[in-house]
Structure 1
Amino acid sequence: MRKNIKLTSAFAGITALALGLTACGTASDPGAKSDSGKADPSKPLVVAASPTPHADILTFVKDNLAEKAGLKLEVKEFTDYVLPNTATEQGQVDANYFQHKPYLDDFNKKNGTHIVPVVNVHLEPLGFYSKKVKDLKELKAGQTIAVPNDTTNEGRALKLLADHGVITLKDGVGADAKLSDIKDKKGLEFKELEAATVPRALNDVDAAVINGNYAIEAKLNPAKDALALEKADGNPYANFLAVKQGNENDARVQKLVKLLNSPEVKKYIEDTYSNGAVIPAFGAAK
């Protein structure tokens, strides 16, 4: 039985307070860095994570590898992209595992937080899905495409569409694209939604670009259901374990780093997500 602690809407009320507190900080603040030397190695390492696949991977580590490594691991599930970072910044959790570097860089810049990546674990290719067309060529002017509304994932989504000829972006625009950077929409309309809600809107729009983890939760099979799928080679969007700056060398964090990049976790990811929705992407996060 899974013993993860799932954080639901009860935590939504702390979002505004957490954001307000983190927005006041800068890299030069006295409290910007934590003293990881004071961390009690006997206490559980509490990690915030998106439910799938992040919490699933952590639960595998907890149930099969952590005890032998002398690590007490506690997993807290979050269903949004804001609270895991604010909770890590405020010390409500010790680490998080849900995001990629472009998203974290943007989040830190906007909110004055001091979260840093520690180790890459996996990649979730972004996919283009539709229940109303069976081929990208069937898209017509006037139809609506839903895209994630956070800065990095929206840019990533638009790049995917541009790479497959659905839209044309302005010259020189890449994965940081915004809707205003679309040179030719080809008559299509775009609906910006929180990433977690995009799959639920799939019946109400003509097509949608969906993050890999949310596609899995919506019972979509990227390898079979996606009309277009992000390439894995050279992809900068590996998801990683992250901590508040200064906690990188916490002994518990370093134990988890080794376990997350272990052969056992690699096999677990490949066996569990054989549909290509999640791909091992081990190595130091930069």
Structure 2
Amino acid sequence: MKKQTLLLSGVALLLAACGAGGNEGETSNEAATQEDTVIKVASHLPPMTDIVEIAGDVIAEPYSVELVEVSDNIQYNEALLNDEVDANFAQHAPFMEQFNEERDGNLVALQTIYNPIVGFYSPVYDSIEDIEEGAEVAIPSDATNEARALMIMADYDLLTLDPEVNPAQVTVDDIVDNPYSFTFTHIDLLNLTSAYEDGVPLVFNYPTYIDKIGLKTEDALFLEDDDDFTFALQLIAREDNQDSPEIQALLEAFTSQEVYDYLDELSEIGHLEPAFENPAE
């Protein structure tokens, strides 16, 4: 009788173990499925991070969006390249293309979202006519934004660039006429606001960064006119996941009416303009 009891107990334990293992498997599968529906998007600074959060509020079920905030202009691309996030939203296509070239990357631009209205700010001059010969000019240290800054200056006839060089690739070495004898200082994009505070006479900057010290685009000495949205900020993914259901759902959320309305409100104060069509039209 005792042996039978022991045998039954052993069977019961075996069944319990099998049952527990099955539950663990189910739990593991559920966790994996839930993880597949969470879309990680790297970004930094408003209004970029705000847009990621709005997209997360409106994205279609079963998906959700997790904002992964970074602190510089390197991490969001490295994270995407290394599959640590699924997408990022912090850059324009020329900057992404430069990254791909330097890192043999496979990032792809999916959709223009908004065009930040960049320009030059001055703690010294009140108008473009006040600019003096020999003035120092602070421009971004990365190649794409350096070219952008120089193209703006050329548009205002402050200098002349070599017409045989691709405008999106020009550097200070491609200046063929510098009538004001400008001296150029290359500064990391995130530190250009500090250059303004330090008294550099002409400083290129984005509204996102210059807003930190209370300046608006209306305070700029002169602004860019980018009708083609060449430098509009884009939703970026990888070649291997760009057509996946989750990225397509993310793209739909980023171009939703809610995101457009938010951008439209910001456009009224001159910071930016939406770079996709109003879904209501």
The answer, yes or no, to whether TM exceeds 0.5 is yes
1:14 counterpart residue number: none
Please state how far the C-alpha of 1:79 moved relative to its aligned partner.
2.8
How far off is 1:40 after superposition? Answer: 6.5
Of 226, 243, 249 in structure 2, the residue corresponding to residue 249 of structure 1 is 243
Q: CA RMSD, aligned part only?
A: 1.9
* Distance (Å, rounded) in 2 between the aligned partners of 1:175 and 1:139: 25
> Match for residue 127 of structure 1?
119
Offset at 1:105? 1.0
Match of 2:71 in 1: 79
State the percentage of identical aligned residues: 28
Q: Going by fraction, where is helix more abundant, 1 or 2?
A: 2
- In the TM superposition, residue 220 of structure 1 has moved relative to its aligned partner by 2.1
Match of 1:136 among 128, 132, 142: 128
Structure 2 Cα separation of the partners of residues 163 and 65 of structure 1: 40
Match of 1:118 among 110, 117, 125: 110
Distance 2:123 2:62 in 1: 47
Query: 2:236 and 2:58 mapped to 1: Cα distance?
Result: 20
The yes-or-no answer on 1:202 pairing with 2:196 is yes
- 2:187 aligns with 193
Cα distance change, pair 109–40 in 1 and its aligned pair in 2 (3 A): farther
Question: Structure 1: which amino acid aligns with 2:100?
Answer: N
Q: Secondary structure at the match of 2:46?
A: helix
Q: Structure 2 stretches of 5 or more lacking a match?
A: 1-31
Name the structure 2 match of 1:177.
170
Q: Which one of the candidate residues 80, 91, 96 is aligned to 1:99? A: 91
Partner deviation per Cα, 1:23-63 (whole Å, 9 max, x = no partner): xxxxxxxxxxxxxxx9977431110012122111112222x
Question: Would the aligned equivalents of 2:54 and 2:258 in 1 still touch at CA under 8 Å?
Answer: no
How do residues 21-60 of structure 1 correspond to structure 2 at under 5 angstroms? Answer: 42-60=36-54
Shift of 1:266: 0.8
Equivalents in 2 of 1:189, 1:39: separation in Å? 57
1:79 touches 1:196 (CA, 8 Å); kept in 2?
Answer: no
**Could you list the per-position Cα deviations for residues 196-237 of structure 1 after superposition, in whole angstroms to 9, with x for gaps in the alignment?**
110111022111011233233443211x11111111312311
CA offset at residue 253 of structure 1? 1.3
The 3 A distance-change label for structure 1 pair 217 and 253 is: farther
Separation in 2, partners of 1:146, 1:260 = 33
**Number of aligned residue pairs:** 243
Amino acid at match of 1:159: M
Letter in 1 for 2:197: N
8 Å CA contact 2:229, 2:275 repeated in 1: no
> The residue matched to 1:259 in structure 2 has which SS?
helix
Q: Distance in 2 between matches of 1:175 and 1:135?
A: 27
1:65 matched to which residue of 2? 58
Q: What is the CA distance between 1:92 and its match in structure 2?
A: 1.3
Q: Which moved more, 1:192-201 or 1:227-236?
A: 227-236
Structure-2 change in CA distance of 1:193 and 1:249 (3 Å): same
The answer to whether the aligner puts 1:220 opposite 2:212 as a matched pair is no
SS, match of residue 60 in structure 1: helix
Secondary structure of the residue aligned to 1:253 is helix
Relative distance call for 1:191 and 1:225 in structure 2 (3 A) is same
Q: Is the 8 A contact 1:41 1:251 kept in 2?
A: no
Take 2:182 and 2:239, find their aligned partners in 1: how far apart are those partners? 42
Name the structure 2 match of 1:162: 154
The separation in 2 between residues aligned to 1:243 and 1:234, in whole angstroms, is: 22
Give the whole-Å Cα distance in 2 for the aligned partners of 1:40 and 1:252. Answer: 12
Distance in 1 between the 2:251 and 2:187 partners? 33
Shift of 1:178: 0.1
TM-score, normalization by structure 2: 0.81
Equivalent pair of 1:52/1:217 in contact (CA under 8 Å): no
Greater mean alpha carbon deviation, residues 132-141 or residues 164-173: 164-173
